[in-house]
């Protein structure tokens, strides 16, 4: 299964960002972009790729330990924006970003200790809003408008919220929009036990 680890903002934070992003859709620079759906919005801590079934249980145990290492629940806010060249537009994150970065490092270590290769690039907290081009392949001409769109969203600053859990999520890709489900979830900053679910509806 295709997996990643993430923190998911609460519905109120998603609504705030969605209200700020909606006007961008009508700008000329937005033509040709592939916008991500609000139910899929998340902060990726580590992309794990295709994970064999025999790795799932040891991975869950190590991710539970990574979540338990977070002593205090991080408080975050979605704020600002940026782009990855001419490929993607994103919203940024502010607040307790150091604990978030440390959690991302622990998640990556948990994956490697399980035998899963993960990207070695430093963690950069962001929420992807739009992409130029498909899921793979080069960006399209639409990518040239990302600079203006990032500038239009640069002053956005949402309300602070607690990052209460770490999620292990499965990605289903097909002809339509991406569909994510939560495989397992662990509390951050508390001693609560793991909560697992097999969700058939997109988050």
- Span 159-203, pLDDT tens digits: 999 999 999 999 987 666 678 999 999 999 864 434 443 333 333
Instruction: Supply the pLDDT for residue 198.
Output: 36
Rounded to 5 degrees, what are φ and ψ at 35? -80, 140
Q: Distance between CA atoms of 171 and 179, rounded to whole angstroms? A: 6
Average pLDDT over residues 113-127: 91
More confident residue, 153 or 193: 153
Q: What percent of the chain clears pLDDT 70, i.e. is strictly above it?
A: 88
One of 1.20.200.10, 3.40.50.150, 3.20.20.60, 3.90.1140.10 is the CATH number of 2-196, namely: 3.90.1140.10
Average pLDDT over residues 125-145: 79
C-alpha distances in Å from residue 23, one per residue of 38, 48, 131:
15, 33, 17
Average pLDDT over residues 61-79: 96
SS3 92: strand
CA dihedral (67, 72, 73, 77) positive or negative: negative
Q: Distance between CA atoms of 60 and 183, rounded to whole angstroms? A: 9
Residue 181 pairs in a beta bridge with 170
Reduced to 3 DSSP states, what percent helix, strand and coil does the chain have, rounded to the nearest 5?
35, 30, 35
Tell how far CA 99 is from the center of its chain.
16
* Confidence band for 136, pLDDT divided at 50, 70 and 90: low
Q: Distance between CA atoms of 191 and 38, rounded to whole angstroms? A: 30
Average pLDDT, the chain: 89
Instruction: Supply the pLDDT for residue 24.
Output: 97
SS3 8: coil
More confident residue, 119 or 112: 112
* Confidence band for 134, pLDDT divided at 50, 70 and 90: low
Instruction: Supply the pLDDT for residue 199.
Output: 33
Average pLDDT over residues 95-101: 96
Instruction: Supply the pLDDT for residue 137.
Output: 55
């Amino acid at each position: 299964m295709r997996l990643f680890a993430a923190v998911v903002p609460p519905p109120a934070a998603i609504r705030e960002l969605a209200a700020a992003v909606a006007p961008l859709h009508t700008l000329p620079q937005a033509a040709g972009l592939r916008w991500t759906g609000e139910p899929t919005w998340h902060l990726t801590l580590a992309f794990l790729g295709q994970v064999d079934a025999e790795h799932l249980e040891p991975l869950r145990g190590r991710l539970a330990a990574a979540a338990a290492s977070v002593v205090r629940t991080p408080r975050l806010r979605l704020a600002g924006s940026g782009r990855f060249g001419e490929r993607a537009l994103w919203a940024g994150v502010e607040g307790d970003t150091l604990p978030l970065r440390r959690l991302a490092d622990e998640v990556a270590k948990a994956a490697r200790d399980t035998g899963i290769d993960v990207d070695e690039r430093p963690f950069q907290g962001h929420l992807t809003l739009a992409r130029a081009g498909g899921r793979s392949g080069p960006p399209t001409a639409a990518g040239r408008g990302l600079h203006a769109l990032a500038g239009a969203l640069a002053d956005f600053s949402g309300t602070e919220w607690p990052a209460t859990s770490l999620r292990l999520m499965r990605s289903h890709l097909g002809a339509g929009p991406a569909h994510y489900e939560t495989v397992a979830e662990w509390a951050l900053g508390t001693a609560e036990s793991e909560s697992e679910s097999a969700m058939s509806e997109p988050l």
